[in-house]
Amino acid sequence: MFRNIWDALKKNPLIDESYRIMDQLHHQTQEMFLLSVKNLIDQDGDPEEVIKMDKEVNKNVQRVRRKVFEYF
């Protein structure tokens, strides 16, 4: 039984793609956070860039949700 669950999680390309996107999301949100802090503390940078990054993060979150939904 556990073998079937493990195989379903490891071998499905939809899940693999979701993991890849989540890794990308991690890097994007880290960069977005650092840029936001820079904008707040140093008053340096472009706040519009943070908004663009946020929209890209939202798109990627929707992609992950779609892939997980397709998987189930």
pLDDT digits (tens, 9 = 90+) for 45-69: 788 898 999 999 999 999 999 988 8
Q: Give residue-wise pLDDT tens across range 15-34.
A: 888 889 999 999 999 999 99
Please state the pTM of the whole predicted model: 0.73
Four-residue CA torsion sign, 50, 51, 52, 54: positive
Length of the chain: 72
Q: What is the C-alpha to C-alpha distance for residues 3 and 12, in angstroms, rounded to an integer? A: 14
Whole-number pLDDT of residue 1: 66
So what's the pLDDT on residue 10? 67
Please list, in sequence order, all residues whose beta carbon lies within 8 angstroms of the beta carbon of residue 47, skipping any fewer than 6 positions away.
39
